[in-house]
A and B are shown apart, each in its own frame.
Chain A
């Protein structure tokens, strides 16, 4: 097996520069949007007293989930002894840190009082999963940074496995914690289920892989690095497996809900007659983000990098649709206020809430994604994250 060497991203590609500027602009717009939301108040968003978490949360949770999932390759490489995954391990760690940072930025900037971040850091309610998540998130960044340092320092080789193990366990807890944020909402029929935590773990694996595909293949292309067909094949099968896992758990979730008399209303709403939500669910998530990419990932005819990236992008879009349906659809459907009674009329009670995301929300969400991406593209120029020589791939030893 050849030695793997890592290097910083060389040369200045036009694409790279364009991307850099684009990202900076998008981040700027995101910041302006956040400032607008804070100074005006949240009335400039589509959120109200019924749909209290909107598009920013869809983006934030997407980023947080993918952050944890992006660490897959590193985990396999150092914990499960997959030495052929090693060329991509550093990149995988980098993605984990940056995506999480982007997600947290969105979450914080959407707060009603973002200026009180210090309060959030100093006042803790330890019975709140949300507070625990703050610890889990910051801890995760720290653990992965140490992990990266260990991977990049030759003298620390011996510790890669154990630190990788810590990171693996940490991220499983982190994703369960994110799922638990919803699992704790006992009064909301859409979330009140134990499946939420495992579902979020699988979503993170599948979304993380997708983001990993898109960024890795792009960066490696710029760097003139080719993934070996074996590695690429393995990762593609893994992606397909994760997507199937998500589909399975989602099916299980909805089927169990259908057996609970009280949950049939919300099920009908999300899956059949809820307007935009069934469309996003079936077309966006199941077809575009599920069945088609599974097929492409498993079919060798689609094994070129271009198809792989396309499939991964579809998983990302599907994942966003899925989160939108879960987070916003779950709130748009009215609560059962009084057992045994229908709410006939009232102040927006017993009615479907119509939520329309506003431009600032979208800008904030995209700003968060851009922040994550900017950190990636800058980091690869500064530190040696990118592999230059792969194992056993003929003709790729150009170093």
Chain B
């Protein structure tokens, strides 16, 4: 296979060029800054590290906007057997062990920088793209489920039966493993993940998406100015999804 050697060229779009991606949440706070977008024939660049910042203070118990948006976007139909339903993103209610404070968070693939799922996958079907997205190449996934054993967050699902009605941009099928793709098909087209969009539309704005490597991006700025954490800091995964207020 030829590996395009051409150095990633970055295109400066300018604020207006990024158009729809600039959704105003509150004065001075923007959802994403996709001022740098890539050409369609350009490979993902390791200068970018896509990440999500979840604000648990804004996330509310009972709200499932992000989950529904994900299900619609990727045509994740219910299987009729709860325990086999695909779960790319799910809502989890937490209780602080020290003071019994309870909170609600969305939980999806954390897009670990050192992903255990990638480390264990025998065929290399689980892989991390240059820009930090952890994905499954379903062409080479043999369905051994070792990655599911390795993932600390139960973030992956196995497709237990035949699937129909897939979206053209989100192939999925029986016998392979799947998980949150960070909506790679949208991000590659300068859009934000479906969950982020729906959370904003619902007025919560608990999810922010952007380039963690870009010092000027909102996620980076917020991450610098506000305390945030990984869910399992002890495992040193350096996740791309970070949580505030947890």
Binding site for B on A (CB under 8 A): 38, 40-43, 48-50, 52-53, 111-114, 116-117, 119-120, 123-125, 127-131, 134, 181, 184-188, 331, 335-349, 353
Contact = CB atoms under 8 A, between A and B. Distances in A.
Which residue, B142, B156, B176, has most C-beta atoms of chain A within 10 A?
B142
Given A112-B144, A344-B94, A184 B119 contact: yes
Which residue, A114, A117, A187, has most C-beta atoms of chain B within 10 A?
A187
A114 B174 CA distance: 12
Interface in B120-140: 120-125, 140
Given A112-B175, A128-B122, A187-B116, A347 B90 contact: yes
B94 A342 contact: yes
Interface in B165-221: 174-177
Contacts of B87: 49, 347
Interface stretch (B9-17, B39-47, B145-153): B145-153
A119 B123 contact: yes
Contact of A50 (B83, B98, B123, B161): B83
Interface stretch (B28-36, B70-78, B227-235): B227-235
A48 B84 contact: yes
Interface string B88-117: 001111111110001001010000000010
A125 B148 contact: no
Nearest to A342: B95
A41 B153 contact: no
B98 A112 contact: no
A21 to B, nearest CB: 33
A123 B127 CA distance: 13
Contacts of A124: 122-124
Nearest to A127: B119
Contact of B97 (A50, A129, A340, A349): A340
B120 A128 contact: yes
B154 interface: yes
Nearest 3 A-B pairs (CB), nearest first?
A: A112-B143, A187-B152, A112-B175
Contacts of B21: none
B142 A119 contact: yes
Given A49-B83, A128-B121, A130-B120, A186 B92 contact: no
B158 interface: yes
A346 B175 contact: no
Given A38-B175, A53-B149, A125 B123 contact: yes
B154 A49 contact: yes
Contact of B231 (A52, A185, A338, A347): A338
Interface of B: 79, 81-84, 87, 90-98, 102, 105, 107, 116, 118-125, 140-146, 148-154, 156-162, 174-177, 231-235, 246
Contacts of A339: 231-234
A4 B176 CA distance: 53
A50 B81 CA distance: 13
28 contacts: A41-B175, A43-B84, A48-B84, A52-B148, A111-B144, A111-B175, A112-B144, A112-B158, A112-B159, A124-B124, A125-B124, A127-B119, A128-B120, A128-B122, A129-B120, A187-B116, A335-B152, A337-B107, A337-B152, A337-B154, A340-B96, A343-B94, A343-B95, A344-B102, A346-B91, A348-B83, A349-B107, A353-B83
Contacts of B154: 49-50, 335, 337, 349
Given A338-B92, A341-B97, A345-B92, 9 more contacts: A41-B161, A43-B160, A49-B87, A119-B142, A120-B122, A131-B123, A340-B98, A342-B95, A346-B93
A343 B176 CA distance: 28
A53 B84 contact: no
A43 B141 contact: no
Contacts of B142: 111-114, 116-117, 119-120
Contacts of A181: 146
Contacts of A345: 92-93
Contact of B162 (A41, A341, A348): A41
A353 B154 CA distance: 13
A350 B227 CA distance: 26
Contact of A52 (B95, B145, B161): B145
Nearest to B101: A341
